[in-house]
Amino acid sequence: MWSLAAGAPLSAQVDATIDVALGAVRYQGFLGSAAGSFTPAVRYDGRVLSVAAQGNYLLYESGRSLTQGAAAVAIVTPAVGALRAEISGFGGLSSYAGGPVAGYGLARARLHVAERLRGVWLGGGLGGSYTGFSDARASEVAAGAWLLVAGTALTASVAYDRVADTAYADLSTTVRWRWSSVEVDALIGVRPWSRRGDTGVFTDVAARIWLTSTVAAQITGGNYLSDPMRTGVPGRYIAAGVRIAPLARRRPVRILDERLRSQLNLPTTSSGDRSLPALLLEPAGVGAEGITIVAPRAARVEIAADFTDWQPVALAHVDGNRWHLNIVLTPGVYRLNVRLDGGKWIVPRGLTVQDDEFGGRIGLLVVQ
């Protein structure tokens, strides 16, 4: 409903999760404790606006509890040549055992210079933190770069942060890889310098494998350094579990039909142009769905999409004029183009056509 009201009904996606966990927590100098947690989260991603919020209730074996909440928002302006501006911010509140409420927040501004497959940015931020007894101002100066290559998204950044009389510099890189039923996200960083704080390496690795269309096994682990803004202490963690997606069950997929397109007043491809390749979605094994392109007389078919990080991926020739790609597509909206025999990137027949941020045209695929 939010997406429809925003005037770009097929350019946004909402994800919501509820995590329930049991585990063991141990703080240095204290007895260990069993703990249970309840964590709801929601995220909205549009073409220019992203909003995320998450809550957490942690109950310790002693009966004491920790309540936390955090939110973030980012707005990206339309491109002017290769330039785009971003305004963002994040903040949170927490309270332990009914004690004083502590909070933090930081507002950021960044300037991006970006092409389709790479970009750099420079920015800064101002904010502060409140512990319930005192407050402190915070500031940040940061720069970074990103690259999409071979189906993988890579980022690198350097940041200098200052909170009250504590200052530190962080260098970090992230890797995001998606293919078929496997998802991997990794963060590796180092804090080589700090004043009145700690230094060292910090990591975060998360891996998920979809076993069926609704069940995935996942494991996360890593370590973190102190965080003066959030008054966090150093620690290590590991978690393993199962993610169940009962409300995202993949049913037989239908591409958005002409009647719904006309109701949304969106441009469409010409259904009478039989020279364009056609896109079909067909089951491809347990818990998976694949993309099939029907392209007569083609010797090579490639696809570039948001689920390939806009890297060209060749489809396998099945028979006759059919080309196939095995990939798991959960319900949602995807953007893609195809290319025949190394020619121009085009929108397959049957998809909705939309102008992208770089002056080109892409096709919208709706998976229900």
Query: Would residue 1 count as lying in a domain?
Result: no
The answer to which of 136-140, 286-290, 301-305, 308-312 has the lowest mean pLDDT is 286-290
Distance of CA 63 to the CA centre of its chain: 35
Domain of residue 201: give its range: 114-121+131-247
Mean pLDDT of 297-302: 90
Q: Note the pLDDT of residue 368.
A: 66
| Position 26 confidence tier, pLDDT thresholds 50, 70, 90 | confident
- Gyration radius of the chain's alpha carbons: 23
Note whether 298 and 334 are same-domain residues.
Answer: yes
Mean pLDDT of 225-230: 89
Percentage with pLDDT > 90 across the chain = 44
Query: Would residue 19 count as lying in a domain?
Result: no
Query: Would residue 100 count as lying in a domain?
Result: no
Note whether 275 and 217 are same-domain residues.
Answer: no
Note whether 360 and 269 are same-domain residues.
Answer: yes
Q: Which two tokens stand for residue 82?
A: 């290769």
d(CA 193, CA 227): 14
Query: Would residue 168 count as lying in a domain?
Result: yes
Check pLDDT > 80 for residue 29. no
Residues 330/248, Cβ–Cβ less than 8 Å? yes
Q: Note the pLDDT of residue 150.
A: 63
Q: Which two tokens stand for residue 127?
A: 């904010």
Q: Note the pLDDT of residue 160.
A: 97
Highest mean pLDDT among 54-58, 130-134, 233-237 belongs to 54-58
| Position 49 confidence tier, pLDDT thresholds 50, 70, 90 | confident
Q: Note the pLDDT of residue 272.
A: 42
Query: Would residue 200 count as lying in a domain?
Result: yes
Q: pLDDT tens-digit profile of 131-159?
A: 877 789 999 999 999 887 766 788 999 99
Note whether 228 and 283 are same-domain residues.
Answer: no
Q: Note the pLDDT of residue 132.
A: 73
Mean pLDDT of 316-325: 87
The CATH number that applies at residue 288 is: 2.60.40.10
Query: Would residue 51 count as lying in a domain?
Result: no
Query: Would residue 320 count as lying in a domain?
Result: yes
Tell me which of 203, 218, 247 is where a domain ends: 247
d(CA 44, CA 51): 5
Note whether 141 and 187 are same-domain residues.
Answer: yes
Q: Note the pLDDT of residue 223.
A: 96
Q: Note the pLDDT of residue 274.
A: 65
Mean pLDDT of 227-247: 86
Note whether 211 and 265 are same-domain residues.
Answer: no
Check pLDDT > 90 for residue 190. yes
Query: Would residue 17 count as lying in a domain?
Result: no
Note whether 308 and 330 are same-domain residues.
Answer: yes
Note whether 240 and 137 are same-domain residues.
Answer: yes
Note whether 299 and 343 are same-domain residues.
Answer: yes
| Position 114 confidence tier, pLDDT thresholds 50, 70, 90 | confident
Check pLDDT > 90 for residue 167. yes
Note whether 218 and 293 are same-domain residues.
Answer: no
Note whether 137 and 243 are same-domain residues.
Answer: yes
Closest alpha carbon to 36 in 49, 13, 19: 19
Other CB atoms within 10 A of residue 255 CB: 19
Looking at the structure of the chain, the number of domains it has is 2
Q: Which two tokens stand for residue 7?
A: 């005037």
The answer to which of 219-228, 278-287, 347-356 has the lowest mean pLDDT is 278-287
Note whether 275 and 330 are same-domain residues.
Answer: yes
Residue that wins the pLDDT comparison between 27 and 168? 168
Tell me which of 220, 247, 274 is where a domain ends: 247
The CATH number that applies at residue 168 is: 2.40.160
Percentage with pLDDT > 70 across the chain = 84
Q: Which two tokens stand for residue 158?
A: 């350097």
Tell me which of 194, 221, 247 is where a domain ends: 247
Q: What is the 3-state secondary structure (H, E, C) of the chain?
A: CHHHHCCCCCCCEEEEEEEEEEEEECCCCCCCEEEEEEEEEEEEECCCEEEEEEEEEEEECCCCEEEEEEEEEEEECCCECCEEEEEEEEEEEEEECCCCCEEEEEEEEEEEEECCCEEEEEEEEEEEEECCCCEEEEEEEEEEEEEEECCEEEEEEEEEEEECCEEEEEEEEEEEEEECCEEEEEEEEEEEEEECCCCEEEEEEEEEEECCCCEEEEEEEEEECCECCCCECCEEEEEEEEEECHHHCCCCCCCCCHHHHHHHCCCECCCCCCCCCEEEEEECCCCCEEEEEECCCCCCEEEEEHHHCCCCEECEEEECCEEEEEECCCCEEEEEEEEECCCCEECCECCEEEECCCCCEEEEEEEC
Distance of CA 301 to the CA centre of its chain: 28
Q: pLDDT tens-digit profile of 249-298?
A: 433 333 333 333 343 444 444 334 667 888 888 765 544 567 889 988 88
Check pLDDT > 90 for residue 71. yes
Residue that wins the pLDDT comparison between 38 and 10? 38
